[in-house]
Amino acid sequence: MRRILKKPEVLAPAGNLEKLKIAIRYGADAVYIGGQAFGLRSRAGNFSYEEMQEGVAFAHERDAKVYVAANMVAHDGDTEGAGEFFRTLRDIGIDAVIVSDPALISICFADAPGLPVHLSTQASATNYKTLEFWKQQGLERVVLAREVSMSEIQEIGQNTDVEMEAFIHGAMCISYSGRCTLSNHMANRDANRGGCAQSCRWKYDLFEMDNGLPRNIVDEDEEPFSMSAVDLSMIRYIPDMVEAGVDSLKIEGRMKSIHYVSTVASVYRKVVDAYCEDPDNFVFDPAWEEELWKVAQRELSTGFFYQEPTEDEQLFGKTRKIPQYAFAAQVLDYNPETKIATLQQRNNFGVGEEIEFYGPGEVGFKQVVTELWNEFDEPIDRAPNAMMTVKMAVDHPVAEFYFMRKKKVERVRTKVKNR
């Protein structure tokens, strides 16, 4: 008899309205966004109330949800206007807010009853008693601290019915649960109130004293020293997350491109569906992992899930390069009779180059660009101008909201780090 599993939510980032729609089209069950106050991503292209209304309507028409991150650490004066903010979100139809500060949580419950609250990962929930505490305060979901191991998640799931949300992919803050003051001191921008300058990712020289003199210990062939971690990827271990009872699988990256959002949401959608449909006969397809490498910016690891991270999970040492792909165009239309696609250019490409198309839920295909025309149906060799409309002969059918990408440089990379 086939086992019936509770399918977890695939939760994708959406830094703006375009990314929200793309994430949902490419398989996300829910998205998380930022408003124009109370969040931790001041540069993420945050949503106005009007954009939230449009985003909520789009999502709800497709049975998807929208959450708003309001997870700043509030100082005196920072909570002004919070009650009205939360009431407006509730009335717009936002499905939940993600909050870490107890003051903001209290204000939300008092001034916007009926608006669900999820505890942010910034609050460092690492055990089931903590989840039970927040349940007593009225919260229905907790975003687990990124420092929680898989065995701890299993224990938490066995001892509480509070919904668990966990990060499965994306950048990892080098500090504990994202609570950092490097940016405050180095750039006068408060990371815990939305202004992080990502000082940990800056490139540094690293010195040691040698007979009283400083000596640079970063070799010429090494990556300059930084305090930054490699990125997280749990693509091979989704079965463990499902079996542990995680309710929501969260992808990091509200400031990432639609190329990233579409690819990562689509891949995790496929893996979750494949495992939950038939867990006993599930076989991991390496092609899923290869797709993620096409939008990776750094090496990948499993973070804290299976072991304590070491220097191998930090970005310094010998230079380690990965494949680089450019988002080249978005499909606007396709004529099945002529097999001509109308595209909106996003990066320079031209005749003779190998490109790749992919779409929502679809396996991509590669081809060489053989013919191009501009919007006036005049033959051209290249599409050099940003956002220009071009037409192209394609080998297989495509559709609106398909994307086209091309490999920029052939690179060598290391393998995904496993447990």
What pLDDT score was predicted for residue 78? 85
The per-residue pLDDT string of the chain (419 residues; one tens digit each, 9 = 90 and over) reads 566 789 999 999 999 999 999 999 999 999 999 998 887 655 556 899 999 999 999 999 999 999 999 988 888 888 999 999 999 999 999 999 999 999 999 999 999 999 999 999 989 999 999 999 999 999 999 999 999 999 999 999 999 999 999 999 998 877 766 677 776 777 777 666 566 777 777 788 788 888 888 888 777 666 677 778 889 999 999 999 999 999 999 999 998 999 999 999 999 999 999 999 999 999 999 999 999 999 988 888 999 999 988 877 777 666 556 668 899 999 999 999 999 999 999 999 999 999 999 999 888 899 999 999 999 999 999 999 999 999 999 999 999 999 999 987 554 444 344 45
Residue whose pair of structure tokens reads 């049975």 in the numeric block: 63
Supply the DSSP string of 115-175, one letter for each residue: --EEE-GGG---SHHHHHHHHHTT--EEE--TT--HHHHHHHHHH--SEEEEEEEE---SS
Could you give the CA distance from residue 24 to residue 412 in angstroms, rounded to a whole number?
32
Residue whose pair of structure tokens reads 């608006």 in the numeric block: 115
Q: Among 329, 330, 331, which Cα is nearest to 348's?
A: 329
What pLDDT score was predicted for residue 81? 94
Residue 74: other Cβ atoms inside 10 A: 20
Q: Among 147, 135, 143, which Cα is nearest to 247's?
A: 143
Beta strands 163-170 and 349-350 are: unpaired
β-sheet bridge partners, residue 390: 343, 374
Listed in order, the ranges of the chain carrying CATH 2.40.30.10 are 325-407
Class of the 325-407 domain?
mainly beta
Look at the domain 9-178+227-313 and name its fold.
Answer: TIM Barrel (3.20.20)
Could you give the CA distance from residue 376 to residue 404 in angstroms, rounded to a whole number?
21
What pLDDT score was predicted for residue 219? 73
Listed in order, the ranges of the chain carrying CATH 3.20.20.70 are 9-178+227-313
Classified as helix, coil or strand, 250 is: strand
Beta strands 141-143 and 30-34 are: unpaired
Tokens of 207: 């010195």
What pLDDT score was predicted for residue 2? 64
Give the type of residue at 273: D
